[in-house]
Structure 1
Amino acid sequence: MATLGFIGSGNIGTNIARLAVAAGIDVVLSNSRGPETLAATVAELGERARAATPEEAARAGDWVVVSIPLAAYEQLPVAALAGKVVLDTINYYPYRDGRVEALDTGKSTTSELVQEHLAGAKLVKAFNNISDFHIPSLARPAGAADRTALPIAGDDPRASADAADLISRLGFDTVDAGPLTESWRFEPDTDPYAMPYSAEPDAMRAFWAAAGEAIRSGTAPQTPPHVDQGVPLTAARLRTLLADTPRKLTADRLVA
């Protein structure tokens, strides 16, 4: 039986876990606060779900989704993730994670930094450019006319293909953007990031700007007054966005 492990079980991880369970995949959830804090989520997901420590989730998964703040990436269990296909959803938000010179200057991408730490793993960047609430609303069965595409990037072609197969089971097409050096093409503030999936992009920009400012000022961001259900993004359109987006250094980002 296939198993998908999760290190980090926030909104992104939990929404992916729901899709996995619906696809007949067992899930093992973990977070930094302990398995007992995930009891309600496990109960909601049902018999295919259980909670564990990050190391246990890493060892249990045929694939492992990593969805944690960048500031915590050095806490990822290196030995337990060795040899695993790791789906990296991590984004760099300087106001949350602190400044990282290699990322500010464009010397490295976020995923290259994480891959350097997880030297024995096979990292594939995925699920970082779509809002968490669009994950369940835009998932579609294989062959659906309105299926949405997500970008991926990775240095191991077989791992990228394996990740693409998993993502297809979860309800999305994929477009391979190339190696991790090219993963900047769908990091925050690029053309493929978040907005192409939104039915109300102007409202979304305003919400994210307000959320970023709230976090910078040390207050809790407000939840959006309503969540749009999103619009499908075709693979052809995503390829164009990936090819045409200019690189914007993270040091220059005004909105994360």
Structure 2
Amino acid sequence: MRRRESARERERARRADEEEHVADRPRIGIFGAGKVGTALARLLLDAGYEVALTGSPRQTALDLLVAVVAPGARVATADDLVAGADVIVVAVPFGKAPSVPWDAFDGRIVVDATNYWPPVDGHIAEIDDDPRTTSEVHAGWNPAARLVKSLNHLGYHDMEDDALPAGSPLRRALAVVGDDAEARAVVAAIIDDIGFDPVDGGALVNGCALEPGHPAFGRELSATELEGLLEAERVVAA
């Protein structure tokens, strides 16, 4: 007769499964310890991800800040964050994006969560005169990085409020665009884990639909609705 597992053995097996699942997940490094970066860190930590954060050199007592607003996240230098991360999220103000070490991102999946918003950033002539999307501009700073545009078209205050379990009829959708299909798939899985329905929007050029002033920015949309807006934007762009 087969011996029945004890409650302790079942609990041990459950924990081992959880640890194995977490170990399979990519390690996340976030540039930006502001409201977006820390809200995202909390969601990732709740979903079982290992998270490192780095902030501005002007941020004092960063260890204390992160311990309070994102307990469980690790504070790292920029170099250590890059060395230890499988996926890097750039969540700094748009005007600070050039200060991020893009040249160190070779081969890394990089999520560009920044937004160029003239009411906040002022007009930047180089961006206004460039026909590319802002993420295409950033991708040009290091073509060896596997850049994906996502997590930019919802507010930091919506991240935790709108996150819902998979299958919820009210689950909000987030788009993933980028020229590397495998990188898009990795980011899509992360988005699903933190409580949103991922929508594959194809090539990086399609990220224009996610920028301020465009149809998907700031709107609570289902996956079907978001897919429709992305398709309409592609048609218009063509």
Over 3 Å counting, the alpha-carbon distance change for 1:114 and 1:163 in structure 2 is same
1:78 is aligned to 2:102: yes
Moved over 6 A (4+): none
Counterpart of 2:45 in structure 1 is 21
Within the candidate set 143, 161, 164, 1:137 is matched to 161
Counterpart of 1:66 in structure 2 is 90
The 5 A counterparts of 1:1-256 are 1=23, 2-33=26-57, 36-46=61-71, 48-101=72-125, 103-105=127-129, 107-194=131-218, 196-197=219-220, 233-245=221-233
User: Is there any run of 5+ residues in structure 1 with no aligned partner, and where?
Assistant: 198-232, 249-256
**Matched residue of 1:133: which SS?**
helix
Note if contact 1:185-1:245 (Cα within 8 Å) is conserved in structure 2.
yes
Note if contact 1:35-1:51 (Cα within 8 Å) is conserved in structure 2.
no
- Distance, in Å, in 2 between the alignment partners of 1:164 and 1:35 is 34
Match of 2:64, as an amino acid? A
User: Is there any run of 5+ residues in structure 2 with no aligned partner, and where?
Assistant: 1-22
- Distance, in Å, in 1 between the alignment partners of 2:146 and 2:191 is 16
Note if contact 1:190-1:246 (Cα within 8 Å) is conserved in structure 2.
no
The higher-RCO structure (CA 8 Å, 6+ apart) is 1
% same residue: 33
How much is the aligned-residue C-alpha RMSD, in angstroms? Answer: 2.2
Number of residues of Structure 1 aligned to a counterpart in Structure 2: 211
> Normalising by the residue count of structure 2, what TM-score does the alignment of the two structures yield?
0.80
- Distance, in Å, in 2 between the alignment partners of 1:15 and 1:128 is 13
State the shift of 1:41 in Å: 2.1
